[in-house]
Structure formats: C-alpha cells, structure tokens
Structure 1
Amino acid sequence: MRIATREAPPFAMKGEDGQWHGLAIDLWDSIANENGYAYRFVETDLDDMIDGVADGRYDASVGALTITADREEKVDFTQPFTTTGFGIAVRKSPTAWLALMQNFFTWDFFKAVLALSALLLFVGFLFWLAERKKNPEEFADNASGIGSGFWFSAVTMTTVGYGDKAPRTPAGKAIALVWMFAAIIIISTFTGMIASSLTAGRLAGAIAGPDDLPKVTVGSIGGTASDEWLRQERIAFTGYPSVEAGLKALQDGEIDAFVYDEPLLRYMLRQSRARDVELLPGTFGRQDYGIAFQQGSPLREPVDVALLRYIRSSAWREAVAQTLGKRE
C-alpha cells in the first residue's frame, strides 16, 4: 500500500534516518498491524494528499488531515481520531509594570507635560507681575520671584496650597481666583487624558480571542483548514509556507498573531520553548482529523473498526498526553 503523508508535527514527523513517526503515524501502524497491511509512506504536499487518494495514486492519506466538506466531496474519511480547533499564537505581553512604564513615558505624554509646564510658567509670571512691587518678600523683583510665581501656580492647581506664598494685591487675588477655577478644569482634563492614554496603550494590539483578529495583522498557512476558517470569518491574513516560518514572523514583529491547528501550535511552542510567544487559552472553530480513502474504498470499514479501538485505548491517551502536554 502507498500511504501519502507530510510533515505535520506531532502527528507526522520524518526523522533524520528517513523513518516516519508521530501520533497519526503510530495510529496507522497499529491499524496496519491489526489488519495485516503492508505499506510504505510517500511524502507529498497537502493538496496531493487529497487529489492523489481521489485518483487512486495513493491507497490512503495519513497525518493532520482535517475533514472538510470540500474534501469529503473528493474522498471518504474515516471516523475522526481526534477533535480539536484552531489556536492563536501571539507575542507575550510585557509585565504589568513594564507595560505601564512603556505607555506612560511616551512622546505624547512629555508634550502634554511641557504644555502644562508652559501654562504654569505663564500664570506664575502673571502672579509675579501683580505682586513683585507690593509683595517683594514672597515674589521678589528678580528671576527667583518668577520661580515663586511658578511654584504658587503649581500648588494652587494641585489644590495642595502650602501657604508659603499668597497674593496680597487685588490684581494678584483676582488672578488667583480665576486660576483656581480654571485649574480645576485643566487638571481634570489632564488627568483624564493620562488615564485614557494608559488605558488605550494597554488595549492597543491586545489579543484575547478571534474577535480581536480583524484589528491586527494575522498570519496563517494558505490552502489549509485554518485558511478556510479565516476566510469564513472575513479575517485577512498573510500566508506562510510553514508553522516555523509563521512563528518566526510573529517573533520578529511582522505579524501580531499566527492562526493554525491548536495541537500543532502547542507542540511547536512546547518544543521550541519560545519565551516571547504564547498560545491563547482555548480553541476556536472545530477540526476533526481523519484518514482519507478513495470514495467507496473497501478499506475504510476495517480501518474504522481498528481506529476506534485504538483511540479508546490507554496507549493512545498516554501518547497524546506525553506529546502535547496539558492544554491551557
């Protein structure tokens, strides 16, 4: 028998010695042993795994092969041997304090601080002009007096009011009265701007699930079930030739999220131990992996029986747990 497959860790992997192994490969080996099949694997691409079975070049296709309506029109699938969904890989968010510092110390923030300082200096200068002749003890007729005016305007705005400086002239008191009311509006507006900036900074680019994908740049692998799912959800994406290429683009900042089969992403991230990339909790959409046969193939029924027997065994459960680890 000629069995088509392709690299799809951890379901189908080719060792340096050219031998195939993985969850789906071991599953097929168990089925073949039970039914007395002699076989050899033929490496090909995803499209040919379907077309080659449909036209009889291959007896079956084994791997991380998602059962879809379009594929079912060309081939017959066995019962699913695993049910999963799509996963979303993203770059890890910085720690809370680091994120706060990054969002706080921005150019826009410094511009706002400079504008506020300029306003305080202007109001302080007005205080100095009104007080420097009749109140030289607190607002000296020199540069230090302007500094005192700046200080008074600042503590008045913040409602601290230390009491070390106070206007004595009618003009100074009038300016102070107007400034007190104006400062309430200004400081409230400024506080709101800072809070809004920090909140927007924390939310910008944050990805919590598929609803956030239309707002960011997404990557996936073209011609796969994840491609079909993204198109159905009307989510634009950049295609990559492999999971490794997509995850590298994610690490390099070329994309904000990479969408693909959740168990494959989980396995790749577990193997790479990438510290700057993580998989969002949960799965999205639904995927059933099956083995493809030519339509009407007499092999499908005995394979189904052996498959269902194997995936209910402790050997299969232990293999999945050891290979994929615990799902978040």
Structure 2
Amino acid sequence: MVHRIFTWFFLLTLTISTQVHAQTSTLRVGITEVPPFVMQTEDGRWEGISIDLWREVAAGMGRDYEWVPMSFNDLLAATENGDIDVAVGALTMTADRESRFDFSHPFYQTGLSIAVPPVPEQSLLASLKALISWQFVSVILALGALLLAVGFLLWLVERRRNPEQFGGSAAEGIGSSFWWAAVTMTTVGYGDKAPVSFPGRLIALVWMFAGLIMVASFTAAITSSLTVSNLRTGIEGVGDLPGKVVATIGQTASQRYLEEQRIRYQPYPDLTTAMTSVAEGKSDAIVYDRPLMQYRNQQLGQQRLTILPGVFAEQLYALALPEDSALRAPVSQQILRVTESEDWGAIQAAYLGSE
C-alpha cells in the first residue's frame, strides 16, 4: 500500500515538474530572413512585421525565447521534426504544409500580384529624345531618298516638255521635282507645279495613290518612335501571362500557382534577383506575394517595377508549430489579441507604408 502511494506520488511529481519546465523553458524560435516580415539590421537586431508580432505574443504568454536563424527549407524541416518550438516568418498556409506540421491562427491575409517593367513617365524631354533616336532618323532618311528618286524620275521626263517648271540646271530641275513629290505625297498640292507630258502625268497618278500609303506609314513610324519607350509588356492581369516569361521564386506558392495555370516561368533563388530580371528585360513579369514585392520594390531605386493593382490566389500567413504542439492554442489566442488591437495597423504601415 505504501509502495503504491509512493509510486503515485512520484509520477504526479514528475508530471507536474515536466509541465512546469515546459511552461518556463526558453522557446526556440526559428526564423528566416524575408523582408519586411523578418529582417536583420546592421547591428544584428531582428525586426519586421512577424518579429514584432512574435514579441507581443511571447510577452502575452510570459515566455522567454531565443532566435534560431536558418534557411527557409531548413525552417520547414526543423518545424516538422520538432527541432524548434515555433517558426516565425511569412509562411503561407497550405494543405501540404498542414499535413507536416500545425499552423497558428493566421495573422496576415494577402495574395499574389504581378509586377511589370517600370513605365517611364511621358514628358516633353522624353519625346524630344525619341525624335533624335536612330529609328526616327532612319525613317526620315528613307522617306527623303524615296522623294528624291520620284523627283528625279519626273525631272527626266519633264525637263524638255515642261522647262518652265522643271527646267534650268540639273540641281534646279531636280529641286523643283523634289518639291512637287513632297507636296503631292502630303496631299497639300499647292498647284504651282504640275507635269504636262503623258509619262509625267502617269508618274503623278501612281505617286498620288502611293502618297496616301506613305503618309499613313510615316505617321505610324513617328508615333511608334515617340511611344516605343513608354509601352508596357502588354500585361494588365493574369489573363495576359500565358505566352510570357514570368519570374518567380522556386518552391513557393507562386511557383505552384504558375504550374497549375500552365504558365511558363523562370525560378530565381531570391526576390531581388527575380525583380531585377524583369527590370533588365530578361523576364516579362514577376508573380509573387504582394507585400514582399511591395517592400523590396522600394529598395530597387531606378529599377523599381510597376506593381499592378489587385491580388489573386489569396493566401494566409501564420506561425508554424510542430504537430500537436501544446503551444498552438495559447499562441493563436495571443495572435488574435494582437491583430485585433489598434496597434496592428501601425505595425504593418511602419514596414509597408501606404499604397
């Protein structure tokens, strides 16, 4: 009887001791740098939306913790194996991950967005630069050569039959024919000069009809020259992505989305490299989490992209914990407390600004 009581007392003491230790031990918090949710400053401190959130959660639970920095793939494996107590970052809740470990209550709702090459502002200076571009100059030279050829041909057949209008020296006669070809092509037709011979009038008739085509082509060439630097890639939404080369980050929800939609993509190791590839014309667009692109875009300077409005393939960010973790309920409770407070909006605005 005494032995049973001693055994029961020992087990009870051991259980209480284990629970107390579990509630007072320092938590191992795995993190991976993913601005603006997890970032390391130059002096080694950690900050970001998720970092600030966890500090509030830990304070609410009265728990001490230590940061355990690691790569993204190692972070998922460590969570699944129970090597860390909680993973803090910008983890998207997916069915595949839910089968490997548990998620807390979500703290951030977002989605994927599209960023395209920067669209330069239209200005008088940009238009003047376009006017001196090689494309514009080549069109002018080609048109001038054609006018000279038509004028020379007309001068050959009119110089003897119509010396009053196309006579004189060769330079004077060709100059008059060049002038006639120009005013006829533009349909201005001052009437100061006109061919009188049958071959000359035949040339004039053909040139009148050709002039209509020439004016339309010339106008289109000028318009293209003035606006070519202001054209987008033609991507205004998800429906425009098929047939384009889309940059993204490997092993992410954005890559899975592109695969499901059968959109050709090029994976990159990090967000900066992927966005730079779009700015440099190596990719037509990038598809990735909107807040991450929004923050990183501020760091690109002259290579800043244009992030299209709206999101798709909506996502939820949450903290990750090992399966059946006792921390799941208290962590979720504290997340609800923080995200429902008035300070939560200020925390997000401090890192993301206002769109």
- State TM-score, norm by structure 2: 0.80
Amino acid aligned to 2:150: V
1:323 aligns with 2:351: yes
For residue 276 of structure 1, report the CA deviation from its aligned partner.
3.3
Which aligned pairs between 1:224-303 and structure 2 lie closer than 5 A? 224-270=252-298, 272=299, 274-278=301-305, 279-303=307-331
Partner of 2:185: 157
Q: Distance in 1 between matches of 2:176 and 2:154?
A: 9
Give 1:153 shift: 1.5
What does the per-residue CA deviation read over 1:134-182, in whole Å, with 9 as the maximum and x for residues that have no partner?
Answer: 3222212422201211211221121111222222334433432343234
1:207/1:213 contact within 8 Å kept: yes
Counterpart CA distance in 1 for 2:207 and 2:46 is: 79
Query: Structure 1 residues 180-189 or 36-45, which shifts more?
Result: 180-189
Instruction: Name whichever of 68-77 and 40-49 sits farther off.
Output: 40-49
The offset of 1:87, in angstroms, is 3.2
Residue of 166, 171, 175 corresponding to 1:139: 166
Note the aligned Cα RMSD (angstroms). Answer: 2.9
Superposed displacement of residue 107, structure 1: 5.5
CA offsets, 1:297-328, max 9 Å, x none? Answer: 2221121111111101011111112221112x
The residue aligned with 1:38 is: 64
**Stretch of structure 1 that moved more, 284-293 or 260-269:** 260-269
Of 297, 306, 327, the residue aligned with 2:334 is: 306
Q: Judging changes above 3 Å, is the alpha-carbon distance between structure 1 residues 185 and 14 closer, same or farther for their aligned structure 2 residues?
A: closer
3-state SS of the aligned residue for 1:159? coil
Aligned to 1:93: 119
Could you say which residue in structure 2 is the equivalent of 1:54? 80
Is 1:221 equivalent to 2:249 in the alignment? yes
* Structure 1 residue 219 displacement after superposition: 2.4
For residues 232 and 280 of structure 2, the distance between their equivalents in structure 1, rounded to whole angstroms, comes to 18
Q: What runs of 5+ residues in structure 2 fail to find an aligned partner?
A: 1-26
Aligned: 1:75 with 2:101: yes
Q: Percent identity?
A: 45
**Cα separation, partners in 2 of 1:115 and 1:268, compared to 1, 3 Å:** closer
The Cα offsets for residues 29-50 of structure 1, whole Å up to 9 and x where unpaired, read as 2222222222212111222222
Between 229-238 and 39-48, report the one with greater CA deviation.
229-238
| Secondary structure at 1:281 match in 2 | coil
Alignment pair present for 1:119 and 2:146: yes
Distance 1:16 1:148 in 2: 74
| SS, match of residue 68 in structure 2 | strand
* Aligned position for 2:91: 65
* Preserved contact between residue 220 and residue 237 of structure 1 (Cα < 8 Å): yes
Question: Could you tell which deviates more after superposition, 309-318 or 277-286?
Answer: 277-286
- Secondary structure, aligned partner of 1:144: helix
Instruction: After superposing the two structures, state which structure 1 stretch, 61-70 or 292-301, moved more.
Output: 292-301
Gaps of 5+ in 1: none
Q: Does 1:24 align with 2:47?
A: no
What amino acid is the match of 2:263? I
70-79 vs 116-125, which deviates more? 116-125
* Corresponding letter in the other structure for 1:243: L
Q: Deviations over 1:102-131 (max 9, x none)?
A: 777665655554444343333322321232
Would the alpha carbon gap of residues 124 and 16 (structure 1) be closer, same or farther in structure 2, given more than 3 Å must change?
closer
Q: Cα 1:103–1:282, aligned 2, differ >3 Å: closer, same or farther?
A: farther
What do the CA deviations read for 1:206-247 (whole angstroms, capped 9, x no partner)?
Answer: 433333444444322211222222222323333333223334
CA contact (8 A) 1:51 1:74 kept: no
- Give secondary structure in 1 for the equivalent of 2:115: strand
- Answer with 252-261 or 71-80: which moved more: 252-261
State the alpha-carbon separation in 2 of the partners of residues 247 and 77 from structure 1.
30
TM score, norm. by length of structure 1: 0.86
Give the whole-Å Cα distance in 2 for the aligned partners of 1:305 and 1:200.
55
Change in CA separation of 1:269 and 1:179 when aligned onto 2, cut-off 3 Å: closer
Helix, strand or coil at the partner of 1:151: helix
2:203 to 169, 172, 175: 175
